[in-house]
Structure 1
Amino acid sequence: MMIKKIAVLGAGTMGHGIAEAFAMYGYDVNLYDTDENKLKVALKEIEEEQETLVEANFIESQSVGLTLKRITLCTDLNQAVIDRDYVIEAVPEILELKQNLFKKLDEYCPSHTIIASNTSSLNLASMMEHISDKRKEQMIVNHWYNPGHLMPLVELSYFGNMSELLFKEVEQLYQSIKKQTVKVLKDIPGLIANRIQQGIAREVFSLIEMGVATPDDIDKALKFGPAFRYATTGQLEIADLGGLDIWCTVGDNLLKVMDHSQHANVMLKQKVASGKLGIKSGEGFYDYKQDEIAAIKKRFAENLIHQLKASQFYIDRSSIKDEEPSNKLNER
C-alpha cells in the first residue's frame, strides 16, 4: 500500500500544523473538527504561517494557494476518514475520549487504514483497548513537535504491535515530507524528546525559584550554551567529544545538588493558579503586551525557519530514498 490520502482529527495548535505539513508536500488532507469555526480559524492560521514561509524565502508564493487547496475541512467524522490511508488524531489528552474515537475509526476507516495518535503521555495499549485485533496491528504513536509545519522531529512507536514492513511505510511517509523520525522501542510516558525537555525545564525552573539569575539571563545561558550545541549535536555526541571521564566527574559533583523533584515546580504551580500562563494570558516569566504578541509569535517562527534552512537535515538528503527535484513543493 502507498499512503496518499491523510486525515487529521482536531484543528487545534498541533492538528492544523500537522495538516499543513502534509499539504505542503502534495498530500490530500482532510482536516476534521466538531467546531466549524475552529476549522475556519485553523485555515486562516495555516495561510498566515505559509505567508511567513514566503517572506523568509523558504517557499514560493504560488505554493500557498496550492497548499490551501489540498486541505478539505470536515465536521463529519465518517466523511473525513472514509477513504483515507493514514489518520492522525490530535484531540485532547483524555484516555476515554481517544478510546471512543479509535473505536469509531475502526468502524469508519477502510480495512487498510493506519491509525496514529499524536499523544506523548498516554499508553498505546490502553488507547486501542476497544478496537479489533486486526486494527491493533495498524496503530502507531506519531508524536509531533510544535509547530508541526516547522519542527523536523516526529517520534514513532515500534512497540511490537505493528510489522516492520508497515512501520517502514510510515517512516517513508514522514521522510517524504522532510521529517526526522525517531523509532521509540518502549512505551514509556513522554517518549524521548519530552523527557529530555522536562529534565532541562526542571532545573531551569529551580534556578528561577532559587533566585540565581533573572529569567532573561537563565534563558541566555541556555540559548548560547547547551542549546547552541544541541542545535547540531546530540547529548551523547557532546559527551564523547568532551570526554566521558569529565562528564562522570561533573555528574558526581553536580547531580546531588540539582533539583530532583518528582512533580511540577511549586513556583510554576503558583503562577498557573494565579492565571499567569505565559503569552496566552499576557504574563508568565515575562510580560507580553497584547499588541506585540503576534509579532513575538512571528519572530519565533522566523527563527525556526532560519534554523531549518541551516540544518543538516535539509543539506543531507541521504535519508530520502527517492530523490526528487529541489522544487518539490511546487510540483506536487
Structure 2
Amino acid sequence: MKHVSVIGSGTMGNGIAHVFALYGYSVKLIDIHESALQKGVANIDKNLSRQVDKGTIDAARKASALANISLTTSISEGCRNADLVVEAASEQIDIKLNIFKEIDGCVPPHAILASNTSSISITRIASVTKRADKVIGMHFMNPVPLMKLVEVIRGYKTSDEVTSTVIELSRRLDKTPVEVNDYPGFISNRILMPMINEAICSLHEGVAGVAEIDEVMKLGMAHPMGPLELADFIGLDVCLSILRVLHDGFGNPKYAPCPLLVNMVTAGHNGIKSGVGFYRYTPGSKEKKGVGIKN
C-alpha cells in the first residue's frame, strides 16, 4: 500500500493526511473547494512545524512529509490510483453515501474504502458500493497527529483480510488500533456522547455551572478536559448529530439530545469553530475567554 487518498481537508482530513504523509505514503488530499485545500495544507505545515520545535521530527522529515502531499478538487483524479481512500467529510449520511458511490466507480478493484465517521453505520455506507467486503471504518481521534487511538469498525460484510490490513496499517502509523463491530456510535461515542449529554442536562437543569461541571470531572475523575469544554472542542453540531444517530439507531430515550444542545446548535453556537459554545474563544484559537452561556 503506497497511495492514499483523503477526502475532506478540514480538521480531521488534514490531520489524517498529515500522519500518512509523515510515515512515507503518497497522499492525495481532496476537497471541493481550493480555498479549503490551501487552508488544510497550511494547517499541516503549521502542525509539522510544532513537531519540529518539540524535537519529535527534524526539518528534513517535515519537508519530506509536505512533498508527499498533493492537492486536487476532483475525486476521480484524486482516487484513480488509490490503494486506500479515507473519507473525512461532514458527518452527514447523505454526503457520505454520495461520496462512496462516486469513489467506488473510480478506484482500482483492490482499493480499500474507509470512512472516518464517528457514528454512522459502516454497513449502510458499504451498501451503496459494489465492494462491501472492502469498506471499513477508520475512526481517528482529534488531534490526529497526537492521539494514538484508531477505532477500526467492521461492517457486516467487511472481510477478515481488509480488517487485518487496516489494523496493521494503523500500527505502521504508530497508532493503536482497536477493533469494534458496527453498531450506532461504535464504542467511543456510544460511551462519550451520553456523558457529554448528561453534563449538558445538568447545566440545563441548574445543578451546577459550566466551569463547575468541568472542574468536577477534571479533578474528580482525572479527565484532562471537562465534558463541556470537550463538546466545544468536538463541535456542538457534531455532538448533536452523533446523539441523533444513537437515538435513531437504538430507539432508546436515554440518547435523546438535551434541548439546550439543540437550541445552541440552532443558534449557531457550535463551540470553538464558531467562537462561542459553553465557553467563549479568542477568534482563530482555542484560548478560552470565559463562559459563553448561563446555566
Task: Give your verdict on TM over 0.5.
Answer: yes
2:179 equivalent to 1:183: yes
Query: Which of 20, 23, 30 is 1:22 aligned to?
Result: 20
Amino acid at match of 1:294: S
TM-score by length of 1: 0.72
SS at match of 2:108: coil
Deviation at 1:154? Answer: 1.2
Q: Deviations over 1:3-55 (max 9, x none)?
A: 22111011112111111111111111111111111111100011111122222
1:148 corresponds to which of 144, 151, 155: 144
Partner of 1:221: 216
Equivalent position amino acid for 1:11 in 2: S
Matched residue type, 2:112: I
RMSD of aligned C-alpha atoms?
2.2
- 2:43 aligned residue: 45
Q: 1:113 to 1:274 in 2, by over 3 A?
A: closer
Deviation at residue 159 of structure 1 after TM alignment:
3.5
The secondary structure found in structure 1 opposite 2:280 is coil
Residues 238-288 of structure 1 show CA distances to partners (whole Å, capped at 9, x for unaligned) of: xxxxxxxxxxxxxxxxxxxxxx74321122223333333322333222222
Q: Which residue of 2 aligns with 1:238?
A: none
Mean CA deviation greater in 141-150 or 51-60: 51-60
Other-structure match for 2:292 = none
TM-score normalised over the length of structure 2: 0.81
> Aligned pair count?
261
**Does residue 212 in structure 1 map to residue 207 in structure 2?**
yes
Partner of 1:296: 287
Paired position in structure 2 for 1:91: 89
Distance 2:274 2:101 in 1: 36
Structure 1: tracts of 5 or more residues without a match: 231-259, 298-332
The change in CA–CA distance for 1:229 and 1:271 in structure 2 (over 3 A counts) is closer
Residues 122-142 of structure 1 show CA distances to partners (whole Å, capped at 9, x for unaligned) of: 22232222322xx21111111
Question: Judging changes above 3 Å, is the alpha-carbon distance between structure 1 residues 68 and 211 closer, same or farther for their aligned structure 2 residues?
Answer: same
Could you list the runs of 5+ residues in structure 2 that have no partner in the other structure?
A: 226-252, 289-295
Q: Distance in 1 between matches of 2:264 and 2:286?
A: 24
Task: Determine if contact 1:117/1:140 at 8 Å carries over to the other structure.
Answer: yes
Q: Trace 1:151-300 onto structure 2 (pairs within 5 A).
A: 151-185=147-181, 187-228=182-223, 261-290=254-283, 293-294=284-285, 296=287
Letter in 2 for 1:49: N
Out of 148-157 and 49-58, give the one that drifted further: 49-58
The residue type paired with residue 182 of structure 1 is: V
2:61 counterpart letter in structure 1: S
Select the residue among 112, 116, 127 that pairs with 1:114.
Answer: 112
Q: Which structure ranks higher in relative contact order (CA pairs < 8 Å, sequence separation ≥ 6)?
A: 1
